[in-house]
Amino acid sequence: MYNLLKGKRGIIFGALDENSIAWKTAERVHEEGGTFVLTNAPIAMRMGTINQLAEKTGSQIIPADATSVADLENLVEKAMEILGGKIDFVLHSIGMSVNVRKGNHYTNQNYDFTHKGWDVSAVSFHKVMQVLYQKDAMSEWGSIVALTYMAAQRVFPDYNDMADNKAYLESIARSFGYFFGRDKKVRVNTISQSPTPTTAGQGVKGFDGFIAYADKMSPLGNATAMDCANYTVAMFSDLTKRVTLQNLYNDGGFSNMGVSQAVMETFIEE
């Protein structure tokens, strides 16, 4: 390990269980010398095993509904109190579609569900940054990262309204990132990850097909949750001080592929 985050303090949203990218990131941040608080919605905490992660990394847990500004204000204030200063890094690893969970097709959405998913998956990122910005809670040259997926740019039919949520999330990163960079010297980026078998990801219809297809398309194969954790650590470190407003692909090259030989071979008759 390289002590890339020695002395740095942060908040990690969204660790549910050991399959979570946020969970792997927390482990890697800890290994690189960073300290942090963990947070998730109370209902998610009941479903997962976040207490094990907290014990392993010597971290405290602060429950917070990321759609509630009051909860986020409490989270940020307590995090600075616990960690002993301003925040150097934040990971937003939150996404949820009620329409997907309920099996509603994209052409037949329940718009109350749509609004809920949009609020949790995208608007929560604006709320997190607005609280951090207004409380002047971020250190200069701090780093904020949100996780996204390529369905924000291309059609993946079964990804449903999550594709719209991710597109909005990426726009928020650019727009808020401008103000955070100009006013506070804080960088904001999104990482567009390969389809990854997390608990949330596996709820998407046809997810196994997503993974197999992406793996055949990508010259380096799919990026794992640990690959994403390592990339996120690099983005939190001082080695990427002037990288901001970017949507960064961590996908084995998938995003620049038209077709691969491996995929073509499945359509060629012998």
Residue 221 marked ligand-binding: no
The catalytic residue positions are 149, 159
For the ranges 51-65, 75-89, 193-207, 245-259, the lowest mean pLDDT is seen at 193-207
- Percentage above 70 pLDDT, the chain: 97
63-118 pLDDT per residue, tens = 999 999 999 999 999 999 999 999 999 999 999 999 999 999 999 999 999 999 99
Q: Domain spanning 9-265 has what CATH number?
A: 3.40.50.720
Known binding residue 218? Answer is no
Determine what percent of the chain is predicted with pLDDT higher than 90.
90
Instruction: Give residue 111's pLDDT.
Output: 98
**What secondary structure does DSSP assign to the chain, as a single string?**
---TTTT-EEEEE---STTSHHHHHHHHHHHTT-EEEEE--HHHHHHS-HHHHHHHHT-EE----TT-HHHHHHHHHHHHHHHTS-EEEEEE-----HHHHHT--GGG--HHHHHHHHIIIIIHHHHHHHHHHHTT-EEEEEEEEEEE-GGGTS--GGGTTHHHHHHHHHHHHHHHHHHHHHHH--EEEEEEEPP---TTGGGSTTHHHHHHHHHHH-TT-PPPHHHHHHHHHHHHSGGGTT--S-EEEESTTGGG-S--HHHHHTT---
pLDDT over 90 at 203, yes or no: no
94 is in an annotated binding site: yes
